[in-house]
Structure 1
Amino acid sequence: MTMTIEATTAEEGTFLQSAGRTRGAAWLVLRQHRVAAWSALGLLAVLVGALVWLRSGITGYTGGHEVTGPGNDAFRHLNDTYGDPLHYIGRFLEYLPLLVGAFVAGPVIGRELESGTYRVAWTQSLSPMRWFAAKLALPAAALLAGVSVLSATYAWTWRSLPLEHLPGQWWWRNTDMLGPVPVAHALLGLAVGALAGLLVRRALPALGVTILALPVLLLPVQWLRDRMVAPATELSRDMPGLIRGNSDWIVGRGMVDASGGHLPEPDCGIGVRPEDCLAQHHAVGWYLEYHPGSHMQPLLWAEAGVCTALALLVAGAAVWVMRRTHP
């Protein structure tokens, strides 16, 4: 019985000592990058404050003015004073994953491997895997918290706009900026940066590899974006238009043959009437594929899920590389 208690106590002591080393490593990471951490926190506060101010201005202005369209003075003032600044903040959210990946690939991982300072940590009873985990745990936690707050505040402000009059703000043109998508993209950027840093082992080249690799990974996601949720289909005898306002995202149009099959939209030439075009191709009507506004949230969450899965795969590859090169 005494031997069992002693063994259990020894195991608990080892666990506590290991946990203490990991917490100490995380604290060291924070100390090393405290300037970047404080700068990111300050930038987050500024952007959230700006979004709150923009929403207050938008709701106040639209409550007292009639915004009817591009030819309206109220529209121009709203777009110039509030719409454009909001769009710039959205663009920052869109490109934030590149900044995250570059920072992780360069200063966090690549610079330490290039300079050899990681050996100091490894000689202080900290294993290579614990060092790697500590390097990524803090940025990952900060991203989940910070980008979630920024993305939620951006969407809250974006919804206050009269979106039907602002084509540049339509939801299907801003999916990189809305909901969970920026968070998932940022986590993917972190994973790509970590893998690039481990493979390249030099700060600036690893940074460049990340900036090139992340868009390549996201390209097929963007190609498949409109197919992650099945679009709605509308049939008509008349040729449907390709613009239906801000709530519907048109993704396809074509003809329907006598058997009900879909034919891609043909090139019938300039000046040919839609009914004559149908006759030329022995079709009986038209179809339109689109995503209504109700598809926005399912599409956002579907893309976020795909990007999170990609981030886990890339992170798994980084762990494999770490174990292979530093067992």
Structure 2
Amino acid sequence: MTSLTHAPRAEKSPDVLEPARRGAGFAGLAWLTWRQHRLALFSSLVLAAVLTGWMAYLASDMTSIYHQCHDTLCPPGSPQLETLNAPFGPVDIANKLLLAVQYLPVLIGMFLGVPLLAREYEQRTLLLAWSQDVSPVRWLWTKIVLIGLFVAALTAALSAVADHLAHVLHDVVGGSMFDGTLFLDSGMLPLANGVSWFAIGVALGAAIRRVLPAVMAVITGFIGLLLTVQWRYPTLMTPVSRFSEFSDAANHDHTASTNALVIKAGIQVGPGHVVNLFDASGHALSYAQVQHACPNFLSLSGKASLSCLVRNHFQQYVEYQPGSRIPEFHLILASGYLGLGVLALAAVWLLVRRASLSAG
């Protein structure tokens, strides 16, 4: 009797076999998503946990010092202020952590967004993935929803703690919540930004189809958008403007609160050159008028020159954003970030529909 010889079966990748074993439903796609992205997901979880815990600890530490100073700015020369401002002290580290949170969305786009489709294109595994029982569109949206919810949960936790730390830092150092990192890391903006850059990363990966070029595109786009936001956000709404006497300006009354963002203020006085200095009636002053009211103005000390300006009821023209507008600014920026994310997802959907019959 002749024995039958069976040809060896071609082995399939575990990433392809497991969805078939588990079924082509949601559970199978969820397992496949974890299998393919587990390293990036686990690393993101660890990084978020470290940042969240560190920021919570710093916020608690600085709050304790703030209470020691009777819930106000610690006086100059006090041991509490020296502790706060020491090299690698609470304030220094808090600023660095908030800066890290500000740049976290670019990492989300690079390591969670881009590989979702770009790696499939680059390794030419999309034909195999899309030839299973699950349609390309369902495959895409299931993976986007699963990883997107993961990103949203992590960035929501980070946003809440970063917002708390930003307010504590503002309490102990003063300034305005409208300023730089404090503004961009509060109001849950990291959540909106993180989700947006995840979607943008997926879209760039789908469009470019190569991981490294898509990553470079994410970095370039993120830096460009960040610089644009930092440049334009102070004027997203028409600033409040008014004449302010120097006694008022010295006491910061024109800002109504320490959280105001001053856009235009200050004076310039030189021979034949006076900028933004007005008399009590609001008329621009000439250099001769300044000299008449305040002889030898340029040689006066800062305190003496200010005293002369106050005595003559001189004014400057001030433009600023009141601190009460901060929630509106956060809403405008968050809406903009989420709008970009929605546009990116629409682009991904169109790209996948057109490429549904071809992996490359």
TM-score, normalised relative to structure 1: 0.78
Deviation at 1:271, TM superposition (A): 8.5
**Alignment equivalent of 1:26, drawn from 30, 41, 54:** 30
- Give runs of aligned pairs for residues 58-69 of structure 1, distance below 5 A: 58-65=62-69, 67-68=73-74
Indicate if the aligned counterparts of 1:25 and 1:131 stay in contact, CA closer than 8 A: yes
The residue identity in structure 1 corresponding to 2:81 is F
Give the match's secondary structure for 1:297. helix
Deviation at 1:177, TM superposition (A): 1.0
Deviates more, 1:111-120 or 1:75-84: 75-84
The residue identity in structure 2 corresponding to 1:45 is A
Give the match's secondary structure for 2:74. coil
Indicate if the aligned counterparts of 1:58 and 1:82 stay in contact, CA closer than 8 A: yes
Q: Equivalent residue for 1:97?
A: 105
Change (3 A) 1:162 1:135: closer
Q: Equivalent residue for 1:257?
A: none
Aligned counterparts of 2:109 and 2:76: Cα–Cα separation in 1: 39
The residue identity in structure 1 corresponding to 2:327 is Q
The residue identity in structure 2 corresponding to 1:248 is A
Give the match's secondary structure for 1:63. helix
Deviation at 1:270, TM superposition (A): 6.3
**Alignment equivalent of 2:207, drawn from 192, 199, 210:** 199
Give the match's secondary structure for 1:314. helix
Q: Equivalent residue for 1:319?
A: 349
Q: Equivalent residue for 1:248?
A: 260
Aligned counterparts of 2:272 and 2:248: Cα–Cα separation in 1: 16
The residue identity in structure 1 corresponding to 2:61 is G
The residue identity in structure 2 corresponding to 1:172 is D
- Give runs of aligned pairs for residues 111-190 of structure 1, distance below 5 A: 111-161=119-169, 163=171, 165-167=173-175, 170-174=177-181, 175-190=183-198
The residue identity in structure 2 corresponding to 1:61 is I
Aligned counterparts of 1:214 and 1:46: Cα–Cα separation in 2: 23
Aligned counterparts of 2:170 and 2:351: Cα–Cα separation in 1: 49
Aligned counterparts of 1:292 and 1:114: Cα–Cα separation in 2: 50
Q: Equivalent residue for 1:53?
A: 57
CA RMSD of aligned residues (A): 3.2
Indicate if the aligned counterparts of 1:171 and 1:246 stay in contact, CA closer than 8 A: no
Aligned counterparts of 1:84 and 1:306: Cα–Cα separation in 2: 31
Give the match's secondary structure for 1:68. coil
Deviation at 1:166, TM superposition (A): 4.5
Aligned counterparts of 1:195 and 1:112: Cα–Cα separation in 2: 13
Aligned counterparts of 2:180 and 2:228: Cα–Cα separation in 1: 17
Give the match's secondary structure for 1:279. coil
Unaligned runs of 5+ in 2: 1-22, 288-313
TM-score, normalised relative to structure 2: 0.72
Q: Equivalent residue for 1:308?
A: 338
Indicate if the aligned counterparts of 1:26 and 1:137 stay in contact, CA closer than 8 A: no
The residue identity in structure 1 corresponding to 2:32 is L
Indicate if the aligned counterparts of 2:137 and 2:353 stay in contact, CA closer than 8 A: yes
Aligned counterparts of 2:319 and 2:119: Cα–Cα separation in 1: 49
Indicate if the aligned counterparts of 2:163 and 2:188 stay in contact, CA closer than 8 A: no
Unaligned runs of 5+ in 1: 1-18, 255-264
Deviation at 1:114, TM superposition (A): 0.2
Deviation at 1:33, TM superposition (A): 1.6
Give the match's secondary structure for 2:320. strand
Deviation at 1:99, TM superposition (A): 0.4
Q: Equivalent residue for 1:87?
A: 95
CA displacement, residues 47-98 of structure 1 (integer Å, 9 cap, x when unaligned): 2222222122112222224753565442231133211222222111110111
Identity %: 29
Deviation at 1:249, TM superposition (A): 0.7
Q: Equivalent residue for 1:75?
A: 81
Give the match's secondary structure for 1:160. helix
Equivalences, count: 296
Indicate if the aligned counterparts of 2:196 and 2:338 stay in contact, CA closer than 8 A: yes
Give the match's secondary structure for 1:287. strand
Aligned counterparts of 1:99 and 1:31: Cα–Cα separation in 2: 20
Indicate if the aligned counterparts of 2:40 and 2:112 stay in contact, CA closer than 8 A: no
Give the match's secondary structure for 1:289. strand
Task: Answer 1 or 2: which has greater helix percent.
Answer: 1
Deviation at 1:296, TM superposition (A): 1.6
Deviation at 1:217, TM superposition (A): 3.7
CA displacement, residues 175-209 of structure 1 (integer Å, 9 cap, x when unaligned): 22112211111122112211111111111111111
Larger radius of gyration: 2
Give the match's secondary structure for 2:241. strand
Aligned counterparts of 1:125 and 1:45: Cα–Cα separation in 2: 37
Aligned counterparts of 1:184 and 1:53: Cα–Cα separation in 2: 24
